[in-house]
């Protein structure tokens, strides 16, 4: 006997219940007002236009929602790492110039031009690839010349830049919109490397004057450069992690008033009393010395929360700090409340962010995990839903 077909109203009710059931208790909150504040503060501090760096899913904050918000707030440029990120932004309605900063792959070059993306040209060979693609399409390409001043990653060495600049300026199929380099040590305000890189970069840029060519946009300062080295601000700055309210390095100084834009939260899903001498989690690496209260939190390294925080990290529950105990699992971990601690199922748990008067910053999480804040943020993957708040709107 076949089951009766559900009525339309019943189907709608089932869909509604499914939507409710699919809302994970673990989620990322992104504060768009904090992003707006940081953009204004960084622009005022630098005194020049800002290229908002939104690569790597906008440092874990969500590529498209963040880019659209930054555009609405007047960001003059966007920067991404890969062609695919640039195309996704164009398809989502981002209209400001977008620079793809990674090294280009020859077969993709035509797509840069078709989608009106600024291309990083890092060698004479790459310049010729772009010229051939532009000529085949009958459209000029917009390019930024990459000068290597000390990273040894991509780009023409500054001391060999003359012929490279001359060839780019003379190209009938390329428009030289910018020239740039990347700072290797600007996160540390005491490093002498930044002054050396600036000197090399300005010397290379001087070749435009030597050949009587217009000077393109010069951009050099990353987050560290914006925070610590005003002489690197030049014609445009490229803040990445600072735009999201996080300092790039323990040595970095908070020279700009920044607000963290991301919070990572979850909820208690299980409570039990663990008796003294009974180990917790894989490997039995942590054992309570007395009877204690332990809760389970539904997030793990499968979501990008680092396993290296096992028995080292902390969370906030009811405004109090409690330690993570035992190894973090793929999908969950355990927290020790102590013999007298209190928590109930569905209590909020803050992994990054503020609860009451207490706060766990991304920088502190990175330090406990033995890594850098960048890795913490970009590691939070799409298994975790993101909710956008502020800016007179709420999105998911």
Catalytic residues, by residue number, are 55, 282
User: Which residue, 126, 42, 40, 54, is CA-closest to 96?
Assistant: 54
Rounded-to-5 percentages of helix, strand, coil across the chain: 35, 25, 40
* CA-to-CA dists, residue 37 to 180, 256, 274, 354, 391, angstroms: 26, 11, 45, 18, 11
Report the run of H or E that residue 31 belongs to, with start and end.
strand 27-31
C-alpha R_g of the chain: 25
Q: Measured on CA atoms in the order 227, 229, 230, 236, is the torsion positive or negative?
A: negative
Collect all residues with Cβ–Cβ distance below 8 Å to 323 and sequence separation of at least 6: 311, 313, 314, 335, 336
Collect all residues with Cβ–Cβ distance below 8 Å to 257 and sequence separation of at least 6: 37, 41
Report the run of H or E that residue 63 belongs to, with start and end.
helix 63-72
Half-sphere exposure of 90 (CA within 13 A, CB side): 19
Report the run of H or E that residue 386 belongs to, with start and end.
strand 386-389
User: Which residue, 127, 213, 222, is CA-closest to 180?
Assistant: 222
Report helix, strand or coil for 2.
Answer: coil
The beta strands (E) that lie in 149-303 are given as 156-157, 174-180, 217-219, 262-267, 270-274, 292-297
């Amino acid at each position: 006997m076949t089951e009766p077909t559900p009525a339309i109203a019943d189907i709608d009710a089932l869909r509604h219940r499914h939507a409710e059931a699919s809302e994970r208790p673990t989620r990322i909150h992104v504060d768009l007002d904090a992003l707006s504040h940081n953009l204004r503060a960084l622009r005022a501090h630098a005194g020049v236009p800002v290229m908002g760096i939104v690569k790597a899913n906008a440092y874990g904050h969500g590529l498209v929602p963040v880019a659209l918000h930054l555009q609405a707030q007047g960001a003059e440029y966007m920067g991404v790492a890969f062609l695919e990120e640039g195309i996704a932004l164009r398809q989502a309605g981002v209209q400001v110039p977008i620079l793809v900063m990674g090294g280009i792959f020859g077969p993709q070059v035509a797509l840069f031009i078709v989608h009106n993306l600024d291309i990083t040209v890092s060698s004479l060979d790459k310049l010729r690839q772009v010229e051939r693609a532009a000529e085949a399409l009958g459209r000029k390409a917009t390019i930024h010349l990459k000068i290597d001043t000390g990273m040894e990653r991509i780009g023409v060495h500054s001391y060999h830049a003359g012929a490279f600049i001359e060839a780019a300026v003379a190209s009938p199929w390329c428009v030289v919109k910018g020239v740039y380099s990347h700072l290797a040590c600007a996160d540390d305000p005491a490093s002498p490397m930044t002054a050396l890189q600036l000197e090399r970069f300005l010397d290379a840029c001087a070749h435009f004057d030597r050949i009587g060519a217009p000077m393109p946009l010069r951009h050099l300062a990353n987050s560290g450069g914006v925070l610590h080295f005003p002489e690197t601000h030049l014609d445009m700055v490229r803040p990445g992690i600072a735009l999201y309210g996080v300092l790039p390095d323990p040595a970095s100084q908070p020279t700009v008033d920044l607000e963290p834009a991301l919070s990572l939260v979850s909820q208690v899903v299980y409570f039990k009393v663990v008796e003294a001498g009974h180990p917790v989690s894989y490997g039995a690496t942590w054992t309570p010395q007395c009877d204690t209260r332990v809760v389970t939190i539904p997030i793990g390294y499968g979501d990008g929360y680092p396993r290296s925080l096992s028995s080292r990290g902390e969370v906030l529950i009811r405004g109090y700090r409690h330690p993570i105990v035992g190894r973090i699992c793929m999908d969950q971990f355990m927290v020790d409340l102590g013999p007298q601690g209190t928590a109930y199922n569905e209590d909020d748990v803050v992994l990054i962010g503020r609860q009451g008067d207490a706060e766990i910053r991304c920088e502190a999480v990175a330090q406990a995990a033995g890594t850098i804040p960048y890795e913490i943020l970009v590691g939070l993957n799409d298994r975790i839903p993101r909710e956008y708040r502020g800016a007179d709107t709420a999105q998911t």
